[in-house]
Chains A and B, each alone.
Chain A
Amino acid sequence: MDNFVVTPTVTVNPDDVPAARLGTRFGRMDLMSQLALLAVEPFAPQFESIARERIAICLVARSSSLATDVEYWKGRDNTGGPSPTLFTYTLPSAALGEIAIRHRITGPPLCFVGGGDDVMAEAMNLLKSGAADGCVCVDVNVVSPALSELIGLPVVAEAKAFLIRRAV
């Protein structure tokens, strides 16, 4: 029977962003992607011992990309239209792409919206089925004040992440 190892969960919030040293690209990302990347960073050295195409990423975007959607659509009347850079981040799965690019992870990507229960279950499914040897699990939730005003969700900005992998 397979055994699995889970790293401690890393939790980050916007206070952690200014001190981050993840390159100029990091500064152009939306808050959701920044938080997701920061939460993954502490256990990233462990990726070196797993083939990159055998690492999956499971991301839960609890409030979809709605906070970024609001920021993007504020620019609708700008000359030249809204920002193409921000448009890229109006997909809930954008953070998943950023994690993959930074760490060269080419295994199965999966992005859920809503509840976080699916992440651990899906990670276990991927590992038990043999589709992956490790799974980066990220749970990110960003509700900006502007979004909160529109749809009534409480303001929040936080990401949690851990790595689950087959025991060596």
Chain B
Amino acid sequence: MQPAKPNVIIASYGAITAAGPDVASLLAALRTNTSGLRANERFNSPRFQSSIVGTAPRPSAQPTDDDPAFDLANDALTQARQNLGALMIAPERIGFVLATTKANIEALERLMDGRPCSDRARRHLQPELLAEDLAETHEARGPRQTISNACTSGVVALQQGAKMIQRGAADAAYVVGVDHLSAFVLAGFTALKALDPSGARPFDRERCGLSLGEAGGAIVLLRDDLATAPGIELIGWGSSNDANHMTGPSRDGSGLALAIRGALRTANLTAADIDYINVHGTGTPYNDAMEAAALRTIFGEACPPVSGQKGMLGHTLGAAGVVESIICALALREQFLPGTPRLSSLADGMPASLVKEPRPAERLRHVLKLSTGFGGVNCALVLRHG
């Protein structure tokens, strides 16, 4: 008989987002449903479909302008470690998982434009070297992984960190998600005509695209018997592929539904146990409709409250799964339902249980976090209030 796997808890977190420099500012924005999307002069050009983005305040500790990926990630992880307090675990038992789609793509723009670029910034163009330097800076010398699963990267990284602990390879894991705003990515989404010129309005009748954002998010995962205080448990995960289209989701949501079933199975729960769903909710017509279809498949007409925050933070790509899991942890800790910023009129076919404005929750125990991305990837996590 195999020994029972240890439980994994979210022991601490840090975030730097368009809502502000830390988790307190993120929580304040969630409480007031305030959007951090703003016009950014840097992107005010006919080259881009929209200049409305979620710009994060750049960390003040080590101000550089050519290595934003390291700076955002480092700041978020520093916050998470400060919030945690002393961690009496040997560095060799602390794993590190980085989630990113483009790492320090700023360096590529600079190098190809012939602009100044430091050796460090150039090095961090390579995601695994960014991970190496972050792990070394924060003395995480256990197993290290760099995950780049498109926009599901952050959620997949949390799954990987939890598995690292469950199989005994580490006692704790620093899971960090980061992506920064860049002309490179904004031009790509412009080419795909996927941006909403007036800013993302997920699930809205008038929605027509996403807004990009930047963020660093960090979560410290810990074997529960090493925790000095109760935390939010990470109890289930599942992932799948649509096997359908490179940039468009499957119309029927079957791929995402498969991932949700996997997450419920590993959490040993049924759909009826879920109290709140934090969706991917990009604001593109196809994504939101696909998620609604997946939720109908799994929950039928009894869908629990649903909301998404990309109208507040923008789509932060590789960071999104980590930052939005922090939002789930905050919802569980504070027992409230976050809203869906910038939603004014719910589109037809969307879940009737969609939460427009934040409100207290009667009872929040199990939260489902959803994430989807290019290449047809889907991932779902289940978090539990201990």
Contacts and interface: CB of A to CB of B under 8 A. Distances in A.
Interface string A102-136: 01111111111111001000000100010100000
A114 B243 contact: no
Interface residues of B, number: 52
Interface stretch (B51-59, B121-129, B287-295): B121-129
B241 A109 contact: yes
B112 A74 contact: yes
B371 interface: no
B145 A118 contact: yes
A103 B150 CA distance: 20
A105 B128 CA distance: 27
B146 A112 contact: yes
A64 B150 CA distance: 12
B150 A91 contact: yes
B163 to A, nearest CB: 7
B108 A150 contact: yes
B287 to A, nearest CB: 16
B111 A101 contact: no
A40 interface: no
11 contacts: A66-B125, A69-B184, A83-B191, A90-B102, A90-B184, A93-B375, A100-B376, A104-B243, A106-B241, A106-B258, A113-B147
Interface of B: 47, 101-103, 105, 108-109, 111-112, 122, 125-129, 131, 145-150, 156, 160, 163, 167, 183-184, 187-192, 238-247, 255, 258, 262, 373-377
Interface of A: 52-53, 57, 61, 63-64, 66, 69-70, 72-74, 76, 80-84, 87-88, 90-94, 96-98, 100-101, 103-115, 118, 125, 129, 131, 150-151
Given A100-B376, A107-B240, 17 more contacts: A64-B103, A66-B126, A72-B188, A81-B191, A87-B188, A87-B189, A90-B102, A96-B377, A105-B241, A105-B243, A109-B375, A109-B377, A113-B147, A114-B126, A150-B108, A150-B122, A151-B126
